[in-house]
Amino acid sequence: MIHPTAVVDSRAKIDSDVEIGPYAVIARDVQIHAGTIIGSHVTIDQDTTIGSDCKIFQHAAIGAVPQALKYQGERTFLRIGRGTTIREFVTIHRGTAFGGGMTEIGEENFLMAYTHIAHDCFTGRKVIFANAASLGGHIRVGDCATLGAFVAVHQFVRVGNYAFVGAMSGVSKDIPPYVLASGSPRAKLYGLNVIGLKRHDFVRETIVALKRAYRILFRFGLTLNEAIERVTAEVDQLPEIANLLAFIKSSERGVTR
């Protein structure tokens, strides 16, 4: 159902069972898939694709041009995954040509009010952004990560799978997978995200191995290269340990410790 006051461009592709509320504006070349509900006064700009069963609440602004001085109006895109909830006043921007041309929100994300996702960001599945969490450009956030209220993440930073970043934190370096981080102006690590791991059904063997790896990597006073060698030699090489080490080895901005 499309409310009669909504403005929908004739070049948009809207599935028949999509709901669009009063005074919403849907631009050209937008695709909205089945079961999605668009609230009142939502703006969805061009070249945005929204998956099925999403909920976008009133006054969200989705798919606007990026806040990047090098952007020159080139055609770029935004893709939002199935089952994602976007609350009031959230802003999400399209990609840039110099950053790959795509911003992508994964499936089943939950973006609370005033969240901001800048150009060329990528989020995995089941990511949670609390109120007013903000991503600069070119950021990657892994599956099942959580960012607390008013977290600010610097451009080009990565946040690993199952990481939890506490409210009001400033994130200027990569946050490894599976950890707790918090702090202002710069976040620091405060241990393993044990509660989060248990909620996602990680088995005891995996949690014990991750705890051992965490202590070696971040609490023994070793260089990262020394710590990686010890973890490789002393900790069972479960898939999660391999993922943790690969994340650290591939860091370009440096790893939060």
pLDDT value at residue 238: 97
Pairing of β 37-38 and β 19-20: parallel
Question: What domain range is 202 assigned to?
Answer: 197-249
Domain end, chosen from 70, 105, 138, is at 138
In a domain? residue 144: no
pLDDT value at residue 67: 97
**Active site residues per annotation:** 119-120, 137
pLDDT value at residue 7: 98
Cβ atoms of 165 and 182 closer than 8 Å = yes
| 96 and 209 fall within a common domain | no
Cβ-proximal residues to 192 (8 Å cutoff; 6+ apart), any chain? 178, 179, 180, 207, 210, 211, 214
Query: Is residue 165 classed exposed, middle or buried when 0-12, 13-18 and 19+ CB atoms within 10 A define those classes?
Result: buried
Q: What CATH number is associated with residue 101?
A: 2.160.10.10
CA dist., res. 118 & res. 133, Å (int):
11
In a domain? residue 153: no
Report the number of distinct structural domains present in the chain. 2
Q: What CATH number is associated with residue 239?
A: 1.20.1180.10
In a domain? residue 18: yes
In a domain? residue 62: yes
Question: What's 176's DSSP letter?
Answer: P
* Among 229, 228, 235, residue whose Cα is nearest residue 251: 228
pLDDT value at residue 167: 98
In a domain? residue 95: yes
CA dist., res. 122 & res. 104, Å (int):
5
pLDDT value at residue 140: 98
| 88 and 207 fall within a common domain | no
Domain end, chosen from 138, 167, 182, is at 138
CA dist., res. 101 & res. 34, Å (int):
25
Cα 14 to chain centroid, rounded: 25
Residue-by-residue pLDDT tens, the chain, 257 positions: 999 999 999 999 999 999 999 999 999 999 999 999 999 999 999 999 999 999 999 999 999 999 999 999 999 999 999 999 999 999 999 999 999 999 999 999 999 999 999 999 999 999 999 999 999 999 999 999 999 999 999 999 999 999 999 999 999 999 999 999 999 999 999 999 999 999 999 999 999 999 999 999 999 999 999 999 999 999 999 999 999 999 999 999 999 99
Cβ atoms of 197 and 162 closer than 8 Å = yes
